[in-house]
Structure 1
Amino acid sequence: MDDSSDEDNLLFDDLQSLHVATPLLHAPNLTKELECNVFLKMENIQPSGSVKMRGIGAFCYQAVQTRGTNIQFVCGSGPNTVLAVSYCARQLGVEAIIVVPKATNERICQSIRTDGSHLILYGENWTAAEVHARKLVRRNGIYVPSSDHALIWQGHSTIVQELKTQLNDNPPAAIICPVGGGGLLNGVIMGLQEADWKDVPVIAVETHGSNAFQASVVAGELVIMEKNNTIATSLISKAVSSKSLELSLNHPVVPFAVSDAMAADAVRLFAGACVFAACLVVPIMCLSLYLEDFKMLVEASAGAALSLCYTHLIRDILPSLSPAKDVVVLVTGGSDISLAHLDEYRKKYMHPAVVVKSGSEIFMKMDNTLQSVADVDPENVDVHSS
């Protein structure tokens, strides 16, 4: 039975979507350095702060369209997912129970409370939070997953619809996409196929401590990651969606893993001058280090994708790039970032060594070229380049 009011239904009917169309910004510095056109799809400006808004918004919107507002969203699936669910619940006039680990940053907790969701602090990590959240689903409850659902993939596919318009229907040479559970990757690939951009490769970027997709592609089957160890917390997933592996067999996908240090340094470079206000104790000679690119804060998961451009690795992956070619980086945003993080990244990860994993091989950039390196743990090399 649908007990939603006429007023609630009117509010719902007025909504076209819960995500916003995002700008595609030209990156002049990277374009000059890489000698190809670099464009940034700015998903960090979504209402919830990350690209999750597209997929979660589509899922939640459809739930209300199907069952009305007398439902309850339940979620405990990572910081960016719960923030998106909380925002959707507020916009749709639906109750929500959000479960987060006890140590969750107070900024995230306060944002959830402000949305009007019922917040529960539980467990030591997101795995425990999710298990507990699923136990709270009642008769009118709907558990909102992070990535593994067709509606979520459909929501993410809208990125490609926008890109088609923004690029005047000219397919890019590649799309660089961070990968966690696979929801965004699935949506991008499905969007490319629907747009008849079937030859546009997706560079699927993970960190060495979260490379479930890369490991699955190499093995030819889903690989369960018993342990994840990365600062890119939004990329942590025990296993990638089985749909991701299926789609990678029918579309050009290049799995690539980068170090935490590379992801962190890309976050610093992308943030640019915005960190200076929090770093007045830093000597004035360091000011030039911050006067870099886009003056926006994004978390390390977004930095992983950006690092392929800042380290010029994209030219090693796609050596045929030219000034006439376009590369699109999905800047996924995220909530797990602060000025304190940036200062830590500056101190710990400034100008890291370039150590990457492609397939089952490990490469290090030496003398401006990638060289295969045997018997190296990519996370245990000196993080600073010489």
Structure 2
Amino acid sequence: MARPFHLNTPLLESVSMTQRVGTPVFLKMENSQPSGSFKIRGIGHLCQQLATDSKGVVCSSGGNAGMAAAYVARKMGVPATIVVPSSTPQLVVQRLRDQGATVNITGKVWDDANTEALRLAETEGLTYVPPFDHPLLWQGHSSVISEVAASLEEKPGAVLLSVGGGGLLCGVIQGLKDVGWTDVSVIAMETVGADCFNAAVKAGRLVTLDDITSEAKCLGAKTVCRKAFEFSQSGEISIISELVTDQQALSAVETFLDEERVLVEMACGAALAAVYSGLVHRLQDEGRLPAPLGPLLVIVCGGSSVDMEQLSHLKHKLHT
């Protein structure tokens, strides 16, 4: 078995978050992965299974999946084409090129870029690397929970994460099932305007958003993957779907930078905002989360599409 491309990331206790929530808060620092986010777990696993004899990989991405695919392809000595929508920050395009990838800018949102990636896979004979919707990705992402199970002394009371297309959510649920933690609730966070999972949960069926209006572009899939929706309906594991505003997500990014000295993107800020905005307490008051709660596990999913310039641009745009 080839060595995986991902790292066993640090699990850090946050004193300031613990004080806010009133229960120990542990941060799984996926921002410290070589590609900057958790995506390398699933994409590395998928590429090791499917792309060893490939003449090249093609991945559609708003940022993090592309960074992971470009990194893995470079390590495997395989050419990578990353198709990104025009909403992708210039710094992401540059970082992808720095990894040796060919960057193809197509369409306005991820769905447009994905159509082009599928076309290239077909016409050029490239291996298509989906950013979130594939069982091998979920299997790779599930390793985040097995790592936590090996190092946390007690079972978490809940897992807090952000949802974009649903790949991390599917991986975490698979991981919880693998380690026998099926009674642990998952708090699935999105921003208003990039809320395809919440819309599906409310409607009781898959929903395709008209557009992505949130600034958390990395959460920007118009339709969540079917498996994530099925998990939300099956009741095997309690999934609590909640929304925060862009302003709350951005404020969480700033607070996290101040308190933990780590800069993450707004997509990750959506999960952090559940702690900083008092949402965890509200869920306890409503009886949807137990009080007292066991340790809260927060997946700090990362982000390669943010720097100080991008942060001040967002602050200016959102008037915070």
TM-score scaled by length of structure 1: 0.76
TM-superposed deviation, 1:72: 1.3
CA–CA distance in structure 1, aligned partners of residues 186 and 126 of structure 2? 36
TM-superposed deviation, 1:142: 1.1
Residue correspondence of structure 1 range 1-386 to structure 2 within 5 A: 15-64=2-51, 68-102=52-86, 104-137=88-121, 138=123, 140-168=125-153, 170-248=154-232, 249=234, 250-272=236-258, 293-319=259-285, 320-322=290-292, 325-346=294-315, 348=318, 350=320
With 207-216 and 41-50 compared, the bigger mean Cα shift is at: 207-216
Give the direction of change, closer, same or farther, for the CA distance of 1:313–1:39 in structure 2 (3 Å limit).
same
TM-superposed deviation, 1:172: 0.5
Give the direction of change, closer, same or farther, for the CA distance of 1:103–1:239 in structure 2 (3 Å limit).
closer
Local SS of the residue matching 2:184: coil
TM-superposed deviation, 1:342: 2.9
User: What per-residue deviation string (whole Å, max 9, x for no partner) do you get for residues 154-174 of structure 1?
Assistant: 011001101101213x21110
Give the direction of change, closer, same or farther, for the CA distance of 1:310–1:296 in structure 2 (3 Å limit).
same
Gaps of 5+ in 2: none
> Highest CA radius of gyration, 1 or 2?
1
Give the direction of change, closer, same or farther, for the CA distance of 1:116–1:343 in structure 2 (3 Å limit).
closer
TM-superposed deviation, 1:108: 2.0
Pairwise CA RMSD of aligned residues? Answer: 1.9
TM-superposed deviation, 1:38: 0.8
User: Is the CA contact (8 Å cut-off) linking 1:18 and 1:61 kept in structure 2?
Assistant: no
Give the direction of change, closer, same or farther, for the CA distance of 1:237–1:70 in structure 2 (3 Å limit).
closer
CA–CA distance in structure 2, aligned partners of residues 126 and 218 of structure 1? 23
User: Is the CA contact (8 Å cut-off) linking 2:160 and 2:298 kept in structure 1?
Assistant: yes
Gaps of 5+ in 1: 1-12, 273-292, 351-386
AA aligned opposite 1:314: V
Local SS of the residue matching 1:146: coil
TM-superposed deviation, 1:152: 0.5
TM-superposed deviation, 1:253: 0.6
CA–CA distance in structure 2, aligned partners of residues 196 and 124 of structure 1? 41
Local SS of the residue matching 1:257: strand
TM-superposed deviation, 1:312: 2.2
User: Is the CA contact (8 Å cut-off) linking 2:187 and 2:242 kept in structure 1?
Assistant: yes
TM-superposed deviation, 1:331: 0.6
AA aligned opposite 1:154: Q
User: What per-residue deviation string (whole Å, max 9, x for no partner) do you get for residues 275-326 of structure 1?
Assistant: xxxxxxxxxxxxxxxxxx111110011101001111222122134433x720
How many residue pairs align between the two structures? Answer: 312
Local SS of the residue matching 1:209: coil
Local SS of the residue matching 2:218: helix
CA–CA distance in structure 1, aligned partners of residues 111 and 200 of structure 2? 21
TM-score scaled by length of structure 2: 0.91
AA aligned opposite 2:291: L
With 112-121 and 33-42 compared, the bigger mean Cα shift is at: 112-121
> Structure 1 stretches (4+) deviating beyond 6 angstroms?
none
AA aligned opposite 1:262: Q
AA aligned opposite 1:232: A
Local SS of the residue matching 2:12: strand
Give the direction of change, closer, same or farther, for the CA distance of 1:189–1:338 in structure 2 (3 Å limit).
same
Give the direction of change, closer, same or farther, for the CA distance of 1:33–1:160 in structure 2 (3 Å limit).
same
User: Is the CA contact (8 Å cut-off) linking 2:62 and 2:220 kept in structure 1?
Assistant: no
User: Is the CA contact (8 Å cut-off) linking 1:298 and 1:333 kept in structure 2?
Assistant: yes
Local SS of the residue matching 2:296: strand
User: Is the CA contact (8 Å cut-off) linking 1:177 and 1:204 kept in structure 2?
Assistant: yes
Map of 1:358 onto structure 2: none
